[in-house]
Structure 1
Amino acid sequence: MAHSTPKHASWLNQVEIFFSLLARAVLRHGDFPSRGHLLEKATEFTIAHNQTARPFRWNYEGRPRQTEGESAVAVKEPAMPADSVLQIKVTLADIRPPIWRRLQVPADLTLDRLHLVIQRAMGWENYHMHLFETPVGDYGRRDSELGHRDERKVPLYAVAPAVGDKISYTYDFGDGWGHRIEVEKALPREPGTAYPRCLTGRRACPPEDCGGPWGYANFIEAITDPGHEEHDELLEWVGGSFDPVQFDVEDINKRLTAR
């Protein structure tokens, strides 16, 4: 599949896009019954052939990121009662026009539950790994080697305790879907109101495994141009149709309240 990467994209973005497109190509040729099976076999190979390597993690300024062995930043004291409701805006990074959701969630919602809220509100299918990056540390599935702390033990108010605070959420380390999360308001709970809930938003979630922001741009270009060389292939891949402006707040709230 032809794919154009913008000149300003980092080498890491190019690697992520390459392997995402490679996985799609392999699956189309039927070598594996599913993406999950492909990832399982890749993990088995990595464990069998790489017993000693340790990832070296960097922050966006090009400096090594702090790990658990170093002094940790203290979690800030909450600036609102734990039983408050936080209004947050979740925006998908590097996408134009913007794709976003405005949500109200309990302030004491733990990050593992916030992960599920974001999945349902955005429209993802929870196929891949994820990570929260906050001023007080990184949270996801606990991994001491990567410095990831246990997201199940940390409420939202502990990492974003004040209006204006921002954290980030990355979903699918291959495609690299970054989300900016900003606390807009701290509110009292409304009696009889179910939380979490979506107030509003814009545009449809990209399809899973489409190659990240730049792959998505290529995907939209292809499906909207009948003369594009990948038009028919990508329309078939996505199920026959895709409306990038689709947004249904009622449907999202049904998903948020589903058990």
Structure 2
Amino acid sequence: MIITLSIKLVSGIYAENEWACELEVAENMSLHDLHHAIQDAVGFENDHMYSFFISRQAFGSERIHFDGEEFSLDDDIASLFPLPKGKKLFYWFDFGDDWIFQVAKSRKKPREPQPGRHYPFVTTETGSKPVQYKGYDTEDEDEW
């Protein structure tokens, strides 16, 4: 079955504008695979460490990390929802630049995959995608 996730940029070193998308994914997708899907959706280079955590807020001190004790990065996305009351799921990429995205399950009902559509699939996008490396234009590398 296919479920819809809402991905929303919360913070990042160069986060100047709001950005969010709805992402259709297979409900048995792992968090490892979700990491790659978010990277593709936002257009980042997959060149840093990442983590997922559950907390009341993005910068809260009480975080449940996916370290294999209670939750694992191999867990199916569908098994995480519903989250504990008052808690949210966050994706944290690049521990230096601190790109944090909130991940929420949409209220849309799970459905069968559409024939010919490749998943994960971005259905909607709002705002402006953040620039991962502001001031480092890879097209101008010859000038270095």
CA shift digits 1:212-248 (9 cap, x unpaired): xxxxxxxxxxxxxxxxxxxxxx3xx32469xxxxxxx
State which of 38, 42, 51 in structure 2 corresponds to 1:131: 51
Amino acid in the other structure paired with 2:112: R
Indicate yes or no: 2:8 matched with 1:91: yes
Structure 2 counterpart of 1:190:
113
Amino acid in the other structure paired with 1:92: L
Q: How many residues align?
A: 125
Query: How is 1:127-206 mapped onto 2 (pairs within 5 angstroms)?
Result: 127-134=47-54, 137-139=64-66, 150-152=72-74, 154-161=75-82, 166-184=88-106, 185-192=108-115, 193-202=117-126, 203-206=128-131
Amino acid in the other structure paired with 2:104: E
Query: How is 1:1-259 mapped onto 2 (pairs within 5 angstroms)?
Result: 84-94=1-11, 95=15, 97-134=17-54, 137-139=64-66, 150-152=72-74, 154-161=75-82, 166-184=88-106, 185-192=108-115, 193-202=117-126, 203-208=128-133, 210=134, 234=135, 237-239=136-138
RMSD: 2.8
Q: TM-score, normalised by structure 2?
A: 0.72
Which structure has more helix as a fraction of its residues? Answer: 1
CA offset at residue 96 of structure 1? 5.0
Which is bigger in relative contact order (C-alpha 8 A, separation at least 6)? 2
CA offset at residue 171 of structure 1? 0.2
Q: 1:183 to 1:149 in 2, by over 3 A?
A: closer
Aligned with 2:109: secondary structure? strand
Q: TM-score, normalised by structure 1?
A: 0.42
Contact 2:4 2:24 in 1 (8 A): yes
Amino acid in the other structure paired with 1:172: D
Structure label with greater radius of gyration: 1
Runs of at least 4 residues off by over 4 Å: none
Which structure has more strand as a fraction of its residues? Answer: 2
CA shift digits 1:119-155 (9 cap, x unpaired): 1111111111111112694226x6xxxx795412x00
- Aligned-residue sequence identity (percent) comes to 22
Whole-Å Cα distance in 1 between the matches of residues 70 and 19 of structure 2? Answer: 27
Structure 1 counterpart of 2:58:
none
Amino acid in the other structure paired with 1:158: S
